[in-house]
Amino acid sequence: MDVVGYAVHGEREKLAPLKFARRDVGAEDVAIAIEWSGVCHSDIHTGRSEWGDVMFPCVPGHEIVGRVTAVGSDVTKFSVGQQVGVGVYVDSCRECEQCRSGMSNYCAKGMIGTYNNPDREGDGYTLGGYANGIVVDHGYVVNVPESLDPAGAAPLLCAGITLYSPLKEWGAGPGKKVGIVGLGGLGHMGVKFAKALGAHVTVFSHSASKKDDALSMGADDFIVTTDETVFETHQKQFDLLINTVSAPIDLNLYLELLGLDGTLVMVGLAPEPYPIKAFSMLAQRRRIAGSMIGPVAQLQEMLDFAAEHNIVSDVEVIKADYINEAWDRVVESDVRYRFVIDASTFATT
Amino acid sequence: MDVVGYAVHGEREKLAPLKFARRDVGAEDVAIAIEWSGVCHSDIHTGRSEWGDVMFPCVPGHEIVGRVTAVGSDVTKFSVGQQVGVGVYVDSCRECEQCRSGMSNYCAKGMIGTYNNPDREGDGYTLGGYANGIVVDHGYVVNVPESLDPAGAAPLLCAGITLYSPLKEWGAGPGKKVGIVGLGGLGHMGVKFAKALGAHVTVFSHSASKKDDALSMGADDFIVTTDETVFETHQKQFDLLINTVSAPIDLNLYLELLGLDGTLVMVGLAPEPYPIKAFSMLAQRRRIAGSMIGPVAQLQEMLDFAAEHNIVSDVEVIKADYINEAWDRVVESDVRYRFVIDASTFATT
């Protein structure tokens, strides 16, 4: 299948159009006409070679919503015309304990990312969602309920699951005090899901200007962190904190906010190590945990939950030729709260 | 009650004898003739002003085993002659959520340590177990089963519970691979308890010379960490690691050893923050947790479990006038594996 998309063609180059072919639709594959493609900060880290080696041309994008155009002979779960989504990974080893227990996002051999990863056959590498079509194994495709705004649904495939998964794992719900640290692409999904799950939700942000947004998304409280006395005032009050800030912040301050057995979840990938004080952990038997997207079954659960509670991302829809500017704005945190590419505009570039 | 013990009388001074009076036995108190008193590394940190302010004279010691000599009018749980123990704390606020839920070691106002803490009345401060007698509220006293060697039982009151509590909390048991990092006063208790709980136990140590000890204590495996390739060889294999090393070590190396949802528990109190890489946490959804001794009820549970499985600490019994030398040897890790003072020798100093 011939498609057109946007790629980084070489180190330090800007994104530019690329015509390329997707693989033929195999027996277990689903061909998808991409309609909406979200812009994730990790696209930028990868495309700008900030996270290591890049295979050029690199087509980023792992927040994909579109419609099925063809299915392989062994595919029964999806049919032509159905609205579907693809997230951060498109394959895994399927043999390790993690894969067999349905946790393929933690595949022991490493999940196969939607872009810039050697593919399973080993004879090529994956090209992502900044394009108007993709072919993906049906085991890594999910249904996107028709009731969801499809552009707003695209960021659910990465930003959404990144927050939903730890909120579920660490028991966000009625009677729990949850803090979302940072109100950006990730954080705003955390506010919406935590609220819908029934938790009391507090946003921690250094931008007082985001207060109205936070409250309108469902936050019960908004704490400006430029005044560090707030960490004293609110100590031992929270059950769960999710840090969505990828810049270095002092996690010891946030640990003090957790009560007995409280957990601080890290979902951002700051390059520098965080200095963690032992005493911040021992007091109140606190925990720090990592969390990395979620398995395919949970991706589906999250989309169904989102449909039930009418949750989508707040998005700014852009055309394909705006991507380079959009990347710059993401780096400057100048987006409320996620860019989504109208994939129909790839064909005209 | 007049007692004699050993105290640090001023900053940078060595320990020297001290005669002092314990409070009168109140309605809820238990008077104890101390027979065995363990030497914990935190005694040294405190006594040498390494952990902040010290109230002089400072009588350290929070691994106490002795016999009841008197009980207050409201005490029904203990009787004269009974063998009992006192651990790291002797009181707490009794009103906070943590105290009310039986987790008084995490008292929101701070537990009242057995020594060097302002006492509950606020008109004095606590003096610890390096003495031949003590008076403690019965709610913070435990029964020490007669079948246990009493000198070897003393370190259970701190070192023992420090390891037993996280092993229980994070599910050490049959089918679980547990690693104990460091084989000292804490670590050797971890090996014994983890083994008795049914887990597969691996000791990580930089001292190859401790291998025989580790295996004789019940370890299934012993890994020398001076060769860093072991962190590659054993990656993603462990369910639970307990770091007992209070010197700075690279926890990121150990995190790589954890499989899906594995937990690294910190029980040592290194003064420097640990640099933790986000990616080490996100991969395999790993967790780091603190743990600080255990509540009184669990202290009793641990002693009963120890009696059932014949677990005590490996101890070197010393006389009171050897304490200063013992402290130096603890700092040099020159003890296998815990010093215990024969409290009958305080009276003759």
Mean pLDDT of chain A: 96
CB contact under 8 A, B281 and A266: yes
Average pLDDT of the segment spanning B120-125 = 84
Task: Return the minimum-mean-pLDDT range out of A102-106, A149-153, B122-126, B238-242.
Answer: B122-126
Residue of B nearest to A162 (CA): B282
CB contact under 8 A, A289 and B290: no
CB contact under 8 A, A290 and B275: no
pLDDT, residue A120, reads 80
Q: A-chain residues within 8 Å CB-CB of B283?
A: 106, 290, 292
Residue of A nearest to B99 (CA): A260
Euclidean distance between CA atoms B176 and B168, whole angstroms:
12
Which of B252, B276, B285 comes nearest A292 by C-beta?
Answer: B285
Residues 280-309 of B with CB under 8 A from A: 280-292
Per-residue pLDDT reduced to its tens digit, A4-45:
999 999 999 999 999 999 999 999 999 999 999 999 999 999
Percent of chain A past pLDDT 90, that is, above it, reads: 93
User: Domain coordinates of chain B in residue numbers?
Assistant: 2-158+314-348, 159-290
Is a pLDDT exceeding 90 seen at residue B218? yes
Q: What Cα–Cα distance (Å) separates residue B93 from each residue in A71, A298, B11, B105?
A: 66, 43, 30, 10
CB contact under 8 A, B288 and A287: yes
Report H helices in B260-346: 278-282, 296-309, 323-331
Fold (topology level) of A159-290: Rossmann fold (3.40.50)
Is a pLDDT exceeding 80 seen at residue B166? yes
B270 part of contact set with chain A, CB < 8 Å: yes
Is a pLDDT exceeding 90 seen at residue B271? no
Which of A260, A268, A273 comes nearest B106 by C-beta?
Answer: A260
pLDDT, residue A151, reads 98
Is a pLDDT exceeding 80 seen at residue B349? no
Euclidean distance between CA atoms A279 and B271, whole angstroms:
8
Per-residue pLDDT reduced to its tens digit, B289-345:
999 999 999 999 999 999 999 999 999 999 999 999 999 999 999 999 999 999 999
Tell the burial category of A107 from Cβ atoms under 10 Å away from its Cβ (0-12, 13-18, 19+): buried
The first and second tokens of residue B341, run together, are: 């003072």
The first and second tokens of residue B193, run together, are: 């308890």
Q: A-chain residues within 8 Å CB-CB of B277?
A: 273-274
In a 3-state reduction of DSSP, which class is residue A16? Answer: strand
In a 3-state reduction of DSSP, which class is residue B322? Answer: helix
CB contact under 8 A, A259 and B284: no
ipTM field: 0.93
Is a pLDDT exceeding 90 seen at residue B51? no
CB B138 within 8 A of CB B86: no
Question: Chain A closest CA to B281's CA: distance in Å?
Answer: 4
pLDDT, residue B79, reads 98
pLDDT, residue B183, reads 97
pLDDT, residue A152, reads 98
B77 part of contact set with chain A, CB < 8 Å: no
CB contact under 8 A, A283 and B108: no
Is a pLDDT exceeding 80 seen at residue B122? no
Question: Chain A closest CA to B47's CA: distance in Å?
Answer: 19
Is a pLDDT exceeding 80 seen at residue A245? yes
Q: A-chain residues within 8 Å CB-CB of B97?
A: 259-260
pLDDT, residue B33, reads 98
pLDDT, residue A268, reads 82
pLDDT, residue A123, reads 81
pLDDT, residue A81, reads 98
Q: A-chain residues within 8 Å CB-CB of B270?
A: 278
Instruction: Provide the whole-model pTM.
Output: 0.95
Residue of B nearest to A258 (CA): B108
Euclidean distance between CA atoms B114 and B100, whole angstroms:
20
The first and second tokens of residue B318, run together, are: 């010393």
Strands (DSSP E) contained in chain A are 2-8, 15-21, 29-38, 64-71, 83-86, 89-91, 112-113, 133-137, 142-143, 177-181, 200-205, 221-224, 238-243, 258-266, 274-276, 287-290, 315-318, 338-342
* Class of the CATH domain delimited by A2-158+314-348: alpha beta
Q: A-chain residues within 8 Å CB-CB of B99?
A: none
Q: A-chain residues within 8 Å CB-CB of B289?
A: 281, 285-288
Per-residue pLDDT reduced to its tens digit, A130-171:
999 999 999 999 999 999 999 999 999 999 999 999 999 999
